[in-house]
């Protein structure tokens, strides 16, 4: 089966993932994308989500907290705001972040806060949800 190199790095941690994979399913600002080897060149922005990586006959998930992705026929490069492999996700921290973000979203809506506050709270909620999804934790 043909492969494409996937490299994921963050400003905090440097390289988080670097392996030959068979397929990447990720979410950009324009919607879901499936990237196979020899994909056309592409530059796009990713939203916070649980990215799906098909490799070695199985599938693994990787949390991406948003960022930029460049695709060439041989390589996918992602510079993410934050990224974690499943084993590196702290579930209790993600649960607390989820509750905090949910409260902030509700209060920003009720108080009619500035649009930017609501957007920030929604992004924090999306990150917490995606982390819990990667860990298979039911979302309250």
Contact residues: ligand ATP, CB under 6 A: 12, 65, 82, 84, 88-90, 93-94, 97, 124, 127, 131
Whose Cβ is closer to ligand ATP: residue 62's or residue 124's? 124
Between 49 and 131, CB nearer to ligand ATP: 131
Beta carbons within 10 angstroms of residue 35's beta carbon? 18
Q: Specify whether the CB–CB gap between 105 and 125 falls below 8 A.
A: yes
Q: How far is the CB of 72 from ligand ATP (least distance, A)?
A: 26
Please report the sign of the dihedral spanned by the C-alpha atoms of residue 123, residue 129, residue 130, residue 132: positive
The CB-of-37 to ligand ATP minimum distance in angstroms stands at 28
Nearer to ligand ATP (CB atom), residue 52 or residue 120:
120
**Which contiguous run of DSSP H or E holds residue 96?**
helix 91-111
Nearer to ligand ATP, 8 or 124 (CB): 124
Compute the distance between CA of residue 54 and CA of residue 108 in angstroms, rounded to an integer. Answer: 38
**Shortest separation between residue 101's beta carbon and ligand ATP, angstroms:** 8
Among all chains, which residue has been given the structure tokens 């609501």? 118
């Amino acid at each position: 089966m043909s492969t494409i190199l996937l490299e994921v790095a963050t400003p905090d941690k440097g390289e988080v993932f670097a392996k030959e994979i068979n397929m990447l399913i990720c979410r950009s600002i324009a919607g879901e994308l499936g990237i196979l080897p020899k994909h056309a060149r592409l530059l796009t922005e990713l939203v916070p989500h649980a990215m799906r990586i098909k490799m070695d006959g199985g599938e693994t998930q990787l949390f991406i907290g948003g960022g930029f992705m460049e695709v060439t026929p041989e390589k996918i490069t992602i510079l993410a705001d934050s990224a974690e492999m499943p084993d590196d996700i702290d579930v209790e921290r993600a649960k607390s972040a989820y509750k905090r973000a949910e409260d902030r979203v509700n209060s920003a809506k009720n108080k009619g806060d500035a649009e930017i506050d609501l957007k920030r709270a929604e992004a924090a909620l999306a990150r917490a949800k995606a982390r819990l999804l990667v860990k298979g934790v039911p979302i309250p």
